Structure 1
Amino acid sequence: MSAAPEDVVTLPGGRVRPVDLSHPLGPTPSEPAPPQIARTSHTDGAQLWEHWYGIPAGALPLGAGFAGEVVTASTHAGTHVDAPWHYAATAEGAPAWTIDEVPLSWFIGPLVVLDVSDLRTGELITPALIDARLRAIGHALTPGDVVAFRTGADRLWGRTEFWEHGSGLGRDAVLHLVDSGVRLIGTDAWSLDRPYPRIGEEWRTTGDPDRLWPAHFAGADRRYCQIEKLARLDELPPTGATITCFPIKVAAGSGAWARATALVPV
C-alpha cells in the first residue's frame, strides 16, 4: 500500500510512514469492563469559567469555553503496556518494576511481526513454533528486538467475542524470547496468554495450575513487558519497521495506555 505524501515523515535516518497500531480508548463491547468517557462541551466550559471567575460567555473570544473529557478506565483497557508489577510483586528476585520504573529504552526498537493467524483460537505458541516462524522470515533475534504476534484477533475489535479469540504464549515461549534479549512482547489479541474464557474452561475440567496464565506469571522469573491489543499488524512487514509505544507515566502503575506506532521505511 503506497502512502499519501502527508503520511510520510522525514527523520534524520530517512523517510518513514507512521502506522497507528492502537485501538481508541473508549466504550466498546470488546472490553468486559469498558472505559467510560464523560464529556464537557464548549458551552459547559464557558459556564465553568463563569462559575469560577465570573467571566460571562460573551466576554470570551469565541463565546465559548474549552471542551474536555473525564475518563474512567482500567490501565489495562485498550492498547496498553503491562509492567512487571502486573505479573507479580517480585521479578528475578527483586521488587518488580511498576510502569513508571521501566526504562524508556524498552518501548522503542526494531519490530519483528510473527504471523500466527493460521493457528486455532486457544492454541499454544511454543518456542519451536517461534523459531520456525523466525526462520520463515529469515530473521535471528537480537537484543532489543520487539516481537509482536499477529493472531488475527484484532479483526473482531468492537465485538463482544474479541476477548475470546486468538492464540497465546506459554511460559516456555516467553522465557525463550526474553532469554534472546526481547524485553517487550506484543499481541493483537486481548491477552498475551491464551483467551481468558479458554483458561477458565480448562481449569474447570483439568484443575491444572500450570495452565493458569503461564505467559504472565513467567514475568516473576524474567523481567519483561507486554503490549496487548495491538492493531493493524497485518499492514506491516515482518521486519524493518521500528515501534514506539511509550506508556503513560502512571504512578506505581501495573500498566498504562500507549499510543503504539510503527515507523515503516519508505
Structure 2
Amino acid sequence: MEERQEIVHLPGGRFRLVDLSRPLGPTESEPSPPRLRRITHQEGAALWRQLFGIPEAALPGGLGFAGEYVEASTHASTHVDAPFHYAPFSAGERARTVDEVPLSWFLGPAVVLDVSDLPDGFMIPAEEIEGRLEGMGHVLSPGEAVLFRTGAGACWGAGEFFERGCGLGREAVLYLVERGVRLVGTDAWSLDRPYPLIGAEWRRRRDPSLLWPAHFAGAEREYCQVEKLANLEQLPAVGSTLVCFPVKVEKGSGAWARAVGLVPAEEGPG
C-alpha cells in the first residue's frame, strides 16, 4: 500500500493521517474474495441513452459516469464486527447489529500492542496483555480502542495471510471489555487465531473451548472488533486517535469501515 503523509489542521492541533484500511477488491488474501464489475464512462453514457433517450453526443466528450458494482461479504477487507455477528444475544440482551451500535464506539484513543514477536497461532491470554501494558506504563481507560499488531499485515495480498497472526482467547477479550474497551482491532484476518489452525485443532483435539473464543466472548460481554487493519506500525503505542465508522448496513452483522489513525504532528510546513 502506498504510504501517504497527509497533514490536517483540526481543533487541538495538527495531525498526520494514517490510512489503516485495506482496499475492497479481489485479492488472494480472502478465501471468498470480493468481486467488482466496473462501469466505464462509455457504458455510463449508454445508460443515459437507454433510460432517458439522451444521446452520447449531448454529454461532454460523449462520456457518462463511471461506476462499480460490488459483490462482497460485509466481513471482507477492513471491517467492523457487530455484537450480532458473534451470537443473537449478548450479555442476556438481544445483540445489536452494526447499524445500532453507538457511533462513539468507533472514535477514540488508540492503544497499539505490538505482539508480532508471538508465533502464528498463539492464543493471547489476559496475562500477556496485562504484562505488555505494564511494560508500556499504560493503564487502560474506558473508551480506548486496543489494536493488536500481529505482523500478519505484511502478508496482505498473498494467500498465506489467512494463516498468519496470533489471536485472542476468551479471557483476553473479557479483560479488555471489563476495563471499558468496546473496540478491539487486529491486522490479521481475524481477532481469533487463524481459521485453518482452528479447524486442524478441532480434528485433532475435539475441544469446543478452542473454537473462536474471542468471537464467542461477545455473547457474554458486548464489544465490537475491527479486523484486517493496515499500517499499525505507523501508529505510536499510545497517543493517536482511531476513527473507523462502519457503513450503516441495515441489520448487518458487520460492515466495511475506512479506518484512519490521527497522529499528532509536530509544527511545521504543510
Please state which band the TM-score falls in when normalised by the shorter chain. over 0.9
For 1:167, the aligned partner's letter is: C
**Number of equivalences:** 263
For 2:132, the aligned partner's letter is: R
Task: Spell out, residue by residue over 1:19-57, the C-alpha distance to the aligned partner (whole angstroms, 9 max, x if none).
Answer: 000000000000000000000000000001011111111
Report the secondary structure of 1:240's partner residue: strand
For 2:170, the aligned partner's letter is: R
Partner of residue 149, structure 2: 150
Alignment root-mean-square deviation, CA: 1.0
Partner of residue 54, structure 1: 53
Deviation for aligned residue 1:244: 0.2
Partner of residue 258, structure 1: 257
CA distance in 1, matches of 2:17, 2:137: 24
Deviation for aligned residue 1:121: 0.4
TM-score, normalised relative to structure 1: 0.97
Partner of residue 180, structure 1: 179
CA distance in 2, matches of 1:53, 1:167: 55
* Range with greater deviation from structure 2 (157-166 or 58-67): 58-67
Partner of residue 206, structure 2: 207
For 1:105, the aligned partner's letter is: S
For 1:118, the aligned partner's letter is: D
Deviation for aligned residue 1:197: 0.5
What is the correspondence of 1:217-236 to structure 2 with a 5 Å cutoff? 217-236=216-235
What is the correspondence of 1:1-266 to structure 2 with a 5 Å cutoff? 7-266=6-265
Identity within the alignment, %: 63
TM-score, normalised relative to structure 2: 0.96
- Point out 4+ residue stretches in structure 1 off by more than 2 angstroms: none
For 2:90, the aligned partner's letter is: A
Report the secondary structure of 1:180's partner residue: coil
CA distance in 2, matches of 1:57, 1:177: 58
Structure 1: give runs of 5+ residues left out of the alignment: none
Deviation for aligned residue 1:101: 0.2
Task: Spell out, residue by residue over 1:151-186, the C-alpha distance to the aligned partner (whole angstroms, 9 max, x if none).
Answer: 000000000010101000000000000001000000
Report the secondary structure of 2:62's partner residue: coil
Task: Spell out, residue by residue over 1:212-247, the C-alpha distance to the aligned partner (whole angstroms, 9 max, x if none).
Answer: 000000000000000000000011100000000000
Deviation for aligned residue 1:136: 1.7
Structure 2: give runs of 5+ residues left out of the alignment: 266-270
Deviation for aligned residue 1:62: 3.0
